[in-house]
Structure 1
Amino acid sequence: MDVDGTSERMAAYLRDHHDKVVGRWTDLVVAGVRGRTSREEVRRELEDLYALIVRVLSGADEHAAGELTATLDELSRGRARDGFSPSETAIGVFSLKEAVYELVADSADLVPEFYSLSRMVDDLGLRTFEAYSSAREQIIADQSAAMLELSTPVVRLWDGIIAVPLVGTLDSARTQLVMEKLLDTLVATGADHAVIDITGVPTVDTEVAQHLLKTVSAARLLGAECTISGIRPQVAQTIVSLGIEFGDIATKATLADALALALRQAGLKVVPA
């Protein structure tokens, strides 16, 4: 921001009334967070922001503006991670104006100085919205990736036999992850048979079928055969009505049936002890 004599006088005023302003600002923010953050932590955060605001207003430090922006961004990210709303985060910054106004309300000669501070605080409050939105988008993306990873495990059923139990909707992004994990596991374990279990997939349409066929084709390029299991009666009816063809890909009703098939193809069978 551009610094003039008014901003410098405001900086001097804030330095002289540090304890009163920060104390009142802390009270206002603590009341807004309703116990979700301790008073000590709030005070520590606001002390850092206050010191940087004074440095920016004084115009004596060319690095202060960048440090203030970085500190404000980190505060906004922390609030986003802790579940605060963007309004709560911004109001915490805006309340600095209230804390200062209570001191200067009866001083007409400080109106220009307060106006200079008010414009600056408004800009900082808007900055918290931008930083908060960016942080929330990243948190949501990370959570989605984690959920996708957890919902697409690859498990070893037997020597040379692995399985991918799928639960939920199978879209393009998830299919790509399934394919990558399946192929990586085939290479890492040397398995020559994979079972793709779709018991937990609610619907199988043409798009889902195409995704499955691509995954099977990719596995075959590595020399592994695939069996699709978990085709329930309702799903079977849908597949038939849509005219979907799985070609020479083996299909079974249950994962147990698919494992038995894989064992037979490997020349093995399980017998009572």
Structure 2
Amino acid sequence: MPNDANTSVLASMLDEHGEELLAAWVTILTATGGTGGGRIKEIELRIQCQDVLTALRQAVAPGGPAEVESPAFTRVRTLLGEVSRSRALLGFSPTETAMFVFSLKQPLFERLRRKHADDALMIADESWKIMQLFDQLGLYTTEMYQKSREAVVVRQQQEIVELSTPVVKLWEGILALPLIGTLDSVRTQVVMESLLQAIVDQNAEIAIIDITGVPTVDTLVAQHLLKTIAAARLMGADCIVSGIRPQIAQTMVHLGVALNVVSKASLADALALALQRTGRTVVRSSSVTATLPARD
């Protein structure tokens, strides 16, 4: 690991040749796909590089600490974290993100060779120190990228679950909850919260839970359904289950699963029952053409 004395040469290069290093760094990043095919504008990339160089120059000031986890590198870590998160959201690969840091090695090594061309031992020694420091920075950037990607995936999964459990108002006081896919504990919680909130918001009397899109119903899925039905009843809404296909009905009988709730084969049948329970009837209207006035 680098120590306090290891940073004097690097600090000197950053202080004396900052603009030259910045230009070379941006050029390398632009040439090697650092903009992600236009996902990041070159001016934005330049600002990110400039900010990191400024923070790095302050962190490795002569006599200062060179440990990436030290307080001196707080600003550097913050900036690299922002770079990692932005690239994770934009769909950059881990390699593309890590190269943001590693591509700065080349201009640093070139400047080091030009400045100390007559001292091969010093070049080798300082190159090793720089490589150690930037390996730490690169690893930190990659770790932050991975955490950001995991957060994006988790958020997307939550959004998919929420979008896959819409509560639909079919009639005044009648709601429908069409379920698609397998029910698990996490999704059941989302389903329950969405349904209960809709019951309160719509002052619903009846909730129809349609499982036409549920591929299979086993004991665990039935338990999840029962929890949802029980919660809805506690909120004052009666439940009707619709969409139980013959295969699912047979499976439930073999498993000894009893939903203890009125069920209908289709959503249309469940809606007709719900209308009947709320004192409504649906009748076929007379032909529209018979009521239209004759044209001249």
Q: Distance in 2 between matches of 1:16 and 1:223?
A: 74
Residue of structure 2 equivalent to 1:203: 216
Stretch deviating more after TM superposition (254-263 or 3-12): 3-12
Which residue identity is paired with 2:85?
A: R
Q: Distance in 2 between matches of 1:98 and 1:171?
A: 51
Q: Distance in 2 between matches of 1:166 and 1:4?
A: 61
Q: Distance in 2 between matches of 1:139 and 1:132?
A: 10
Residue of structure 2 equivalent to 1:241: 254
Stretch deviating more after TM superposition (148-157 or 101-110): 101-110
Q: Which runs of 4+ in 1 moved over 6 A?
A: 60-63
Q: Distance in 2 between matches of 1:192 and 1:6?
A: 74
Segments of 5+ residues of structure 1 without an aligned counterpart are: none
Which residue identity is paired with 2:12?
A: A
Structure 1 residues 217-232: aligned runs within 5 Å: 217-232=230-245
Task: Kindly state the Cα deviation for residue 144 of structure 1 after the two structures are TM-superposed.
Answer: 1.0
Q: Distance in 2 between matches of 1:252 and 1:59?
A: 78
Structure 1 residue corresponding to 2:207, chosen from 176, 187, 194: 194
Tell me the secondary structure at the aligned position of residue 40 of structure 1.
Answer: helix
RMSD, aligned α-carbons: 2.1
Which residue identity is paired with 2:267?
A: L
Stretch deviating more after TM superposition (85-94 or 3-12): 3-12
Task: Kindly state the Cα deviation for residue 169 of structure 1 after the two structures are TM-superposed.
Answer: 1.4
Structure 2 residue corresponding to 1:50, chosen from 53, 60, 66: 53
Structure 1 residue corresponding to 2:83, chosen from 58, 72, 75: 75
State whether structure 2 residue 196 is matched by structure 1 residue 183. yes
Stretch deviating more after TM superposition (2-11 or 202-211): 2-11
For normalisation by structure 1, the TM-score amounts to 0.92
Residue of structure 1 equivalent to 2:37: 35
Structure 2 residue corresponding to 1:251, chosen from 247, 257, 263: 263
Residue of structure 1 equivalent to 2:167: 154
**CA separation of 1:98/1:159 partners in 2, compared to 1, >3 Å: closer, same or farther?**
same
Q: Distance in 2 between matches of 1:18 and 1:83?
A: 30
For normalisation by structure 2, the TM-score amounts to 0.85
Tell me the secondary structure at the aligned position of residue 33 of structure 2.
Answer: helix
Which of these two proteins has the greater Rg computed from alpha carbons? 2
Which residue identity is paired with 2:33?
A: G
Tell me the secondary structure at the aligned position of residue 195 of structure 1.
Answer: strand
Residue of structure 2 equivalent to 1:7: 7
Aligned residue pairs total 272
Task: Kindly state the Cα deviation for residue 243 of structure 1 after the two structures are TM-superposed.
Answer: 2.4
How far does the alpha carbon of each residue in 1:23-73 deviate from its partner, in whole angstroms, 9 at most, with x for none? 222222221335243332222211111111111111588965211110010
State whether structure 2 residue 187 is matched by structure 1 residue 174. yes
Segments of 5+ residues of structure 2 without an aligned counterpart are: 66-70, 286-296
Residue of structure 1 equivalent to 2:177: 164
Q: Distance in 1 between matches of 2:58 and 2:235?
A: 63
